[in-house]
Every structure is written in C-alpha cells, then in structure tokens.
Structure 1
Amino acid sequence: MKKQFFLNLSLALLLCTGTTFAQRVDTVAVLSPSMHKTVKSVVVLPASYDQSPEKRYPVVYLLHGHGGNYAAYVNQTRPQLPQDASNMEFIAVCPDGGRDSWYWDSPADPKNRYETFVASELVKYIDKHYRTKADRTGRAITGFSMGGHGALWLAFRHPETFGACGSMSGGVDIRPFPDQWGMKRWLGEYADHPKVWDDYTVATQLYRLRPEPHVLGGRSNDWLGKSEVRRPAIIIDCGTDDFFYGVNLALHEAMLHNNIAHTFIVRPGSHNHDYWRNALEYQLLFFHNYFDREAQPQ
C-alpha cells in the first residue's frame, strides 16, 4: 500500500515537472503561392519549447473533416492537444483544409491545391519558422473523416515527406458516395469522369506502397529494394457504426492481401468527435513510438 502511494506520488511529481512551463498555441497565416492566398493554421508548441533552445521537435499534422476548419482540434476534437504535445514533446500543426477540399490538387479547379499546400508549402513554412526535425522521420500526418482521407492521400503520395500516417473514420474510398460532401465540385460528376474518381481515391493508391520485402531483422519500415523512399508507418481506426466502416474494412483487407504493414483498430462507435477524441490519443502514442524508434541509432 505504502509502495503504491509513493509510486503514484512520484508519477504526479513527474507530470507536474513536465508541465512547469506553459505550452503555446499560435495561429499563423501561411502564404500559399499555388493558390494565391493565405491559409490559417493552428500551431501547438510543447511546454519545453521555449526552455530548450537547442532541441528540435517532431511534427504531427492534423487534418480536419468536412465543414471544419483549422481550430477544430483545439476547440472540439481534442482540447487537451496542448497537453498531449507537452507530454509527448511534439509540435502539432492543424491547417485549414477548406470546407470541402478533400486535400486534393483538383483536376477540375486549378485554384484548389490543398495537396500542394499541406505537403509542400506548409511543411516548408513550419520547418523554416520552428525548430523541427526537418525530415520524414520527424513528421506524421493524420485526420478524421475528410481529413482521414487527406492524411493517407498525402502520405501515400509523398512518402519522402511523411514518415508516419493515420486515419480516423476516414473516407478512404470516395466512389460509393458520388453526390456527397462536395467532391464532384473538384472531380466532376462521377458518371462523366469515373477514371478521375478512381485515380483520386485512397483505395487505389496502394500500389505506391509496394509489398513488404522479405528481410531478416531491421526496422518495420525497411528500405524498398533500391528505392531511396521508405513506406510510412500506418495506423487506421474506424468505428463499427460509422458509415465509412465498410470502406475502411475493405482497405484493411486490401492492405493485408498486398502485405502492407499497418495497424488497424476497430471499436464500437460512430462518426463523431467523441470517437475521434479517443482515437487520436492512440494515434499520437503510435506516432510518439515511431519518432522514438527512428531516433535510435541503427
């Protein structure tokens, strides 16, 4: 009993020590040359950031869902995100993805280039203005709903930029929903452009990841033959009552069939912020472990 008391007291003191200094939550306006406008993002800095001027931090990019904005995570999905950033020592970046951009470079509207903005312009801005671990091993990206699609879309297409990725209740196959969530605004009508819809859905991007090579030892993200780009570490989460559950399950089965390593979590739950608040806690731990693993000498 006495030992348990001192264990709990030690843990409490450790947590208090780690949060002596306040974390910072900034809102920045980042110029997007490709879209000729500024785009807002929330940037969350851990409590230790201003106290450790030599330290560089990994970055987790968090993409919001349809109808949301850059403040969705700190205001609704996970208000404790600043504490998460301090406890795990990472920088969180929550960009505005527009009401319904789906994080594409639209083939129908050249003014909608959120893939370029997030995967290139925003990453360069964050690396220039903050003390980041400025390579793929120090970056992860995830999101919920539309943002879950966006996170996998960007990570699969830009593995040189993001070393880990996730999706929470993501719309990972858009084709069953041709009239929903404004997608035809950016891709055209499904009946008129089925090839475009095939090309712009996460479910058809698995070829970019390639099958797992047979290796002895080494890390989970081993080099792909002679390629200089490594597969991202992947975590996918979806509730059984979610309208996207079917497409997430199909993606999981396709990844198993293609021997693509990933973590797949299924729990009771539907398409809401309560589910994503819990899911994000597990995804942040997944990314924290990834960053720690990559920081170890080979």
Structure 2
Amino acid sequence: MAFFTCKLKSQALMSTTQVRLYFPCDLVDRWKGQPPRAVFTLLHGFTNDGDDWVNMSAALRYAADNNIALVIPDAGNSFYHDTASNQAYHTWLTEEMPVLLDQIVKLPHEREKNFICGLSMGGYGALMIGLNHPERYAGCASFSGAVAMHLMLDQKDNPLVRYVFEPVYGQTLELPENRDLFRLVQKVSALPAEQQPKLLCTTGRQDHEPYYIYEQNQAFRQLAQSLPVDYTYMDWDGGHEWAFWDRSLVYAIDRFVNPGYADQILKGWSSEAFTTERG
C-alpha cells in the first residue's frame, strides 16, 4: 500500500494544511497493477481532523478491499465553509486542493469515479460540497450529518449554538442559500437524473441531544423523499460514535462502488463465534 500525509501551502487559507492520501496498490492480488477504481474523499467531524478516519475506523482496509483511493483533508471547525472568521476552507477544498494534488499524484478525474463522504460536521460538508458540485461527484454520503443546519441556526439564544456557529456564519447566524442543504437538494432535483449525484444519509436511532441529529435527518428525509432524486436513507441502533460511522462507510462503498460488499462484511460479524475456556 501507499499511505502518506502531504503538507500543502494554501493561498486561500494563508497557511499550510494537511491532506492524507491512501492508495491500495499492493495489498490485494486482484488489484495489482490496476489504477484505483474510485476516489473517496472523507471529511472529518467538529473538533477533529483527518487522522480520525485513519486511527478510529477501518477505512484503509475497506479501501484496500475495493481498490479505492482515499483523500482525507483537514478543515478545522469550519463546517467546510469560507467562514466569517476568514478561514477559506471551502475555497481550499473545492478549488486549490484538487489542482495541487493533480500536480503530485495521479487520481481518477472522471465524475463517475469520485465520491465524497463525511461524518457529523463532515456529513453536512459532504452533502453541501457534493450538491454544489454535481458535475464532480457521482455520489455523496452523510453519516450522522447535521443536515438541517437552519434548524440549529434558528436557536439564536442558545449559547452553545453561538459558540459553535458564530465563527462560521457571523453574529447574524444566517445560512446562505448555497450552504442550505434543503435548498440545494431541491435545486439538484431539477437536473436530469444522470447529472445528479446519488445521496446516502445514515443516522443512529439514539443520536439526539445536543444537536438532535436523528431529528434533523428525519426533516431532510421528508423533503428528499418527495423529490425526484436518488436518495437512500438508513438508520439503526447507535449514537454519535465510530462504530456507527465505520459501518456507514461500508454501506457507502456498497451503495456507490461494490453492491453486495456490506453483506460480505456484516456477515463476518454476525456468524456465531465458537468459544472454549479452561479453568
């Protein structure tokens, strides 16, 4: 395999930032000598960075199973915006980073081979970027994502909401139309079906306070299922946790790249383990 971390200078951020790259070039015999069949960009959550995908999930193993290259950037607590506090992460991720990476590594450019996924803050970011750029991504997935951002920003008297979101949206906490997933999915639904990205949203049934992620996903689900979009919703028992997000990534690979992969992986966990003890 090839896994490395790049430190790249961003003009938009006015600083260096990190991007992790993974290529499963030699772990599985059937993929040897073949270029990646797909690229998954994985977005991290609030207060974290891209290392979490490497350290807390089996993302690299799942990528090796399926000959998927991974791009895992950092974005601070920006919610993948150009923020009110002058952190231009959206510009970095959508304009600068692709150009710089193209100078360093050979990744598939075809839309049908590019997908973007994220957890929590990154779940919102994956849908926001994917719906703003349907010409780039064949699919985007949100795992426990804050998909109804307007519902949180409406709580203007909530100190926690102000602490988290004022650096992103400013004191008014106003959500621009091109950052509102409800408006974006309606806009994308007007495109021909072949130009729309596939959408996948997962949420844990116990993922409630403080951000009511389960409830946010029900609101987005109600809208998305009323529109002519390729939208899949999944929930099962779980909270805001890595066990849930790891499983979600398996379903995203199954949905976007390799149908049947989820059954293969989950079957390995569901078979009964033989146990013998002594003493």
- TM-score category, normalised to shorter length: 0.7 to 0.9
In 2, distance between residues paired with 1:258 and 1:94?
31
1:240 to 199, 205, 208: 205
Indicate whether 1:72 and 2:52 are aligned.
yes
Query: Equivalent residue of 1:65, what SS?
Result: coil
- Number of the residue aligned with 1:105: 82
Q: Identity of counterpart residues, as a percentage?
A: 24
Q: How does 1:245-284 map to 2 (within 5 A)?
A: 245-284=214-253
- Number of the residue aligned with 1:207: 186
1:185 to 167, 181, 198: 167
Q: Deviations over 1:149-181 (max 9, x none)?
A: 000000000112222110000001123323436
Indicate whether 1:170 and 2:145 are aligned.
yes
- Tell me if the contact between 1:32 and 1:121 (Cα under 8 Å) persists in the aligned partners: yes
- Tell me if the contact between 2:196 and 2:229 (Cα under 8 Å) persists in the aligned partners: no
Matching residue's letter, 1:123: P
TM-score for both structures, normalised by structure 2:
0.80
2:17 to 30, 33, 39: 39
Query: Equivalent residue of 1:68, what SS?
Result: coil
CA-based RMSD of the aligned residues comes to: 2.3
Distance 1:248 1:47, change over 3 A: same
- After TM superposition, the structure 1 stretch with the greater mean CA deviation from structure 2, 82-91 or 170-179, is 170-179
In 1, distance between residues paired with 2:176 and 2:98?
27
2:111 to 136, 139, 142: 136
1:91 to 56, 66, 69: 69
- Number of the residue aligned with 1:145: 120
Matching residue's letter, 1:104: H
In 1, distance between residues paired with 2:2 and 2:219?
40
In 1, distance between residues paired with 2:98 and 2:177?
27
Distance 1:120 1:58, change over 3 A: farther
Distance 1:285 1:86, change over 3 A: same
- After TM superposition, the structure 1 stretch with the greater mean CA deviation from structure 2, 148-157 or 34-43, is 34-43
Indicate whether 1:287 and 2:259 are aligned.
no
- Tell me if the contact between 1:211 and 1:258 (Cα under 8 Å) persists in the aligned partners: no
In 2, distance between residues paired with 1:105 and 1:137?
27
- Tell me if the contact between 2:59 and 2:249 (Cα under 8 Å) persists in the aligned partners: no
Query: Equivalent residue of 2:151, what SS?
Result: coil
Matching residue's letter, 2:197: P
Aligned residues: 246
- Number of the residue aligned with 1:225: none
Matching residue's letter, 1:86: A
In the TM superposition, residue 204 of structure 1 has moved relative to its aligned partner by 2.6
